[in-house]
Amino acid sequence: MAYTSREAFFAFRRSPLLTALSIATIAFALYTLSVFGLVWTNIDRVLADVEERVEVIAYLVDGTDPTETSALMREVAAYPEVDSIAYLSKEDALARARAELSDYSALYEDLESNPLPASIEIALKAGYRDAADVADVAARIARFAFVEDIKYGEDWVQKLDFLQNLSLFLGLVVGGVFAVIAFVAIGATINIVLISREDEIAIMKMVGATRSFIARPLVIEGFIKGVLGAVIALVLLTFTYSLLEQRVVSLSFYSPLQVAGGILLGGALGAVASIMTLRRHLATW
Amino acid sequence: MILFKNVHKEYPRTGYALQDVSFHLRKGEFTFVTGPSGAGKTTLVKLVTMEERPTAGMVRISGYASDKIKTREIPALRRRLGIVFQDFRLLKNRTARENVAFALEVTGASAEQINPKVLRTLAAVGLSDKADHLPSELSGGEQQRVAIARALVNDPFILLADEPTGNLDPKVALDILRVFKDINLRGMAVLLVTHDRTLLGEHPRARIIELDQGRIVRDTANGGAAG
């Protein structure tokens, strides 16, 4: 064990340039990946916020019997898609209109009769807020005779749907491509390190070193490089983040757990890339 | 010990490197393997270290058979062989002492076991005073002595040397041959591969196996006939 750890750290002193190069590669790869991840999670968060606002509004015919209204509400509340349901009376609707449209408050002053209909506002559970589910719920409610009109922002629910699918697709594809590039870049620099030590590996094989004896310090070295690269990426990312935050837009950052996970991921990436590259160098004996 | 039985070795591109080679090296024997370049000497060394396996026939080294040995058993075999090369193959950034110690570290030996053994072995090849020198600070002959010490430090049953004097001038080459002879006198078998015929004359009692175009054309243990 003493040998292994000594060897793993020795590499940093022995070939500082090559070591710096591979750490920088890992740092840059992880930085790119994490910036993308940050942008993606923020877009996703915005979309989720918007999605929270998806609701179905059923406008009722004036003079609808309150018992019928409550029967409708009980039935709709029992739909598996429905999260919550609220009744808005004509008076409440007018009060809300006055409050929300204060610029036009003159329009709502001195009205002889209240032109606004009573309505039921139906919020849907997460997972049922896509265009198809929303339309389906709306269609079921529309069947009630005393429902005069139903609105659920069909156009923008579909747009939101599209944006969310696009975001997921880009997240998986672009994120996946970045991850693969990161992995290949890390593998390539570790391969250079191994090629520079080919003579040494040949000597180890000659004097009877086992596979794990040769591999262990190199895998640990890969892990340490991965962790250092991830820490540098984190520093760069924090800097980028605060710059964006100050100058452009308010964003959410990774949680401490995600940061810790990212650093471990860097280490794992370095170790796994080392193992995979080593297999080629240790194929013949 | 070392047994070659009707060994053929064929490479896909270059054809036969060895053909029907058979010999048996006994304990404590000093053997020269000689012949012109391209005769198959290096292939023979690679078959002993099991870096290569025969195309046909069988090689047996200290209980390990070429047709049965598994890759993970090869390190154990290598520790039973002391291997010396023409180009020394020392680790450039380590001192003589560290280079020799390296062969013991590989076996998982502790520092307390390693240090005295390394110093003893360096003394055996006459390099006690250069223990802390880097290879670049040593002459070719001294570097080869370090390599020999590294080969010896694991107490192998045979010392295998592939053109160990090839990079050295004639006087130094004779010094190195003397080191091998001394080691052999203490009971260790030596297999020394060389194309340099003058070395053969310096050790008349040694066995000589001569290769040409992949075949044994002379083996003094068989009264000079082809094996």
- Spatial CA neighbour of A284 closest among A222, A226, A198, A221: A198
Contacts of B112 in chain A (CB under 8 A): none
Q: Give the model confidence (pLDDT) of A218-244 as tens digits.
A: 899 889 989 999 999 999 999 999 988
ipTM confidence score: 0.88
What mean pLDDT comes out for the span A51-69?
A: 87
For residue B84, what are the CA distances in angstroms to A131, A257, B21, B121, B143?
76, 54, 23, 15, 11
| A10 vs A210, more confident | A210
Q: Which residue has the higher pLDDT, A192 or B169?
A: B169
Does B30 score more than 70 pLDDT? Answer: yes
Reported as a single tens digit per residue, the pLDDT across A188-228 is 877 888 888 888 889 999 999 999 999 998 899 889 989 99
Task: Answer yes or no: do A14 and B93 touch at CB < 8 A.
Answer: yes
Distance of alpha carbon A41 from the chain centroid: 3
Q: Is B79 on the interface with A (CB under 8 A)?
A: yes
Question: Could you tell me which of B199, B194, B187 has the C-alpha nearest to residue B210?
Answer: B194
Tokens of A66: 């309150």
Residue of A nearest to B49 (CA): A206
A54: nearest Cα among A142, A155, A145: A155
Q: What is the mean pLDDT of residues B38-51?
A: 95
Question: Predicted confidence band at B227 (pLDDT cuts at 50, 70, 90)?
Answer: very low
Chain A hits for B75, Cβ within 8 Å? 205, 208-211, 213
* Cβ–Cβ below 8 Å for A207 and B76: no
Q: What's at A213, amino acid-wise?
A: F
Enumerate residues 6+ apart whose C-beta is below 8 A from B94. B102, B134, B135
Asked if B31 and B79 count as a contact pair (C-beta separation under 8 A), the reply is no
pLDDT in tens, B196-221: 999 999 999 999 999 999 999 999 98
The answer to whether A270 and A26 have CB atoms below 8 angstroms apart is: yes
* Residue B225 confidence (pLDDT) above 60: no
Closest CA–CA distance from residue A205 to any residue of chain B (Å): 7
Alpha-carbon span B137 to B153, nearest angstrom: 22
- Predicted local distance difference test score (pLDDT) of residue A195: 86
Question: Cα separation of A28 and A21, whole Å?
Answer: 10
User: Whole-number mean pLDDT of chain A?
Assistant: 85
pLDDT in tens, A100-132: 877 776 766 667 778 889 999 999 888 888 888
Compute CA distances A32 → A76, A237, B205, whole Å: 47, 9, 70
Percent of chain A at pLDDT exceeding 90 = 18
Q: Across the interface, which of A205, A208, A211 has its CB nearest the CB of B76?
A: A208
Which of A46-55, A111-120, A245-254, B10-19 holds the top average pLDDT?
A: B10-19
Which residues on chain A are in Cβ contact (under 8 Å) with B107? 208
**Per-residue model confidence (pLDDT) at position A217:** 86
Q: E strands of A129-226, at which residues?
A: 147-151
Q: pLDDT-based confidence at B226, cuts 50/70/90? A: low
* Count of Cβ atoms closer than 10 Å to residue A190 Cβ: 28
CB contact under 8 A, B71 and A199: no
> Is residue B60 a contact partner of residue B6, using CB atoms and an 8 Å limit?
no
Model pTM score:
0.73
Closest CA to A254 of A39, A25, A32, A63: A39
